Amino acid sequence: MDILEAVLKNTLNMESFSDLPPRLSDEESERMKADAFNDTEGNLNEDDGYSCSICKNRGIIMKVKQTRSGNWTNVACDCECMKIRHTIRMMQRSGLKNIIRDYTFSKFIATEDWQITLKEAAKTYSLEKKGWFFIGGQSGAGKTHLCTAICREFLLEGMPVKYMLWRDEAPKIKAAVNDAALYSAWMDPLKKVKVLYIDDLFKTGRGSEDSQKPTAADVNIAFEILNFRYNNPDLLTIISSECTVNDIINIDEAIGGRIFERAKAFSLKPDRSKNFRLKGVTEL
């Protein structure tokens, strides 16, 4: 015993066994384990650019819970940031790569008056967080960039954002129309999420007169989503479309009326000089 005490005194710098810390309870032991795990750094931010101070980019938080038998154990729980990361991944898969780094207001170059107007309106909306926001018309004018920049600001504040690329999501919903459970599973999140971004609304092809020609099913889906959100004004809705205001109204006046009553709306007339994707093209 004298040898053991001497070793402990030397190792722990204690005068006697009475100075040893008391044995930890099971709860205390599990909390120490949880704290040690929660203090470690993860690397999810390397994939999506989003940094979370709560889980330190692990995506998981360890919590201590007591079982029915009275024992204490650690349980792994998803961090709230995983919902945000899911939205970011959806937007990345749609072609919006590195949205946290690339689709910012500072990277939207505004030199023309119309660009300055759009940018300032988008920035104001991202700060005020009221009503809806709509940009329609000319392709390549930066509509998606600005709408995504708004979503980026909301995501960085921890707000739940759902991204709907119309041409990808609408066909899936239409295919599920005869399956009530699956249909609701697709529609309910779109109707009820705090922030919904519909990208390329009614992007379904062109008619003979070079106008968007959505089907009756497309119109029904859009009306169901937007009417629900119209009747719940605390829900924020962002819409980009190649359709102008007049196009939307001609497609369905009830949908157009709801959008343009709620939204800060901008409509760009067809003008290829506004298509930044064509800048630098040399005709020979």
Under a CB-based contact definition with an 8 Å cutoff, are residues 239 and 132 in contact?
yes
- Please state, in angstroms and rounded to a whole number, the distance separating the CA atoms of residues 14 and 28: 22
What pTM was estimated for this model as a whole?
A: 0.71
Phi, psi of 195 (to 5 degrees): -125, 120
Of the chain, the percentage scoring pLDDT greater than 70 comes to 86
Residue listed under structure tokens 């920049």: 149
Measured distance CA(177)–CA(181) in Å, rounded: 9
Architecture of the domain spanning 83-278: 3-Layer(aba) Sandwich (3.40)
Q: Who contacts 116 (Cβ-Cβ below 8 Å, separation ≥6)?
A: 110
Mean pLDDT across the stretch 79-101?
A: 79
Mean pLDDT, residues 31-46 taken together:
88
Mean pLDDT of 174-188: 93
How confident is the prediction for the chain on average, in pLDDT? 84
In angstroms, the Cα distances linking 225 to 171, 197, 217, 220, 222 are 15, 12, 12, 9, 5
Question: Is residue 39's pLDDT more than 50?
Answer: yes
User: Is the distance from CB of 145 to CB of 152 less than 8 angstroms?
Assistant: no
Q: Give me the DSSP letters along 149-196.
A: HHHHHHHHTT--EEEEEHHHHHHHHHHTTT-HHHHHHHHHHHHHSSEE
In the three-class reduction of DSSP (H, G, I as helix; E, B as strand; rest coil), residue 267 is classed as strand
Token pair in block for residue 115: 């660009």
**Weakest-pLDDT range from 11-25, 118-132, 172-186:** 11-25
Is it the case that residue 82 has pLDDT exceeding 60?
yes
Please give the Cα distance from 35 to 30 (Å, whole number).
9
For the record, the structure tokens of 273 come out as 């000089």
pLDDT single digits (tens) 130-180:
999 999 988 888 899 999 999 989 888 878 888 999 999 999 999 999 999
Q: Identify the pLDDT of residue 269.
A: 81
Residue that wins the pLDDT comparison between 282 and 123: 123
pLDDT tens per residue across span 203-262: 875 544 555 578 999 999 999 999 999 999 999 999 999 999 899 999 999 999 999 999
Cα–Cα distance, 228 to 249 (Å, whole number): 18
Angle separating helix axes 180-192 and 166-175, nearest 10 degrees: 150
Residues in the chain: 284
How far apart, in whole angstroms, are the C-alpha atoms of residue 134 and residue 240?
6
Other CB atoms within 10 A of residue 267 CB: 17
| 280, pLDDT greater than 80 | no
Integer-rounded Cα Rg, in Å, for the chain is 27
Rounded Cα distance, 252 and 234, in Å: 24
Confidence check: pLDDT of 264 > 80: yes
Does residue 97 surpass a pLDDT of 60?
A: yes
Rounded Cα distance between 278 and 263, Å, is 29
Half-sphere exposure of 217 (CA within 13 A, CB side): 13
What are the domain boundaries of the chain? 2-78, 83-278
Per the CB < 8 A criterion, the answer to whether 99 and 152 are in contact is yes
pLDDT at 211: 52
List, in sequence order, every residue forming a beta bridge with 73; answer none if it has no partner. Answer: 65
Q: What share of the chain is helix, strand, coil (3-state, %, to 5)?
A: 50, 15, 35
| Percent above pLDDT 90 for the chain | 45
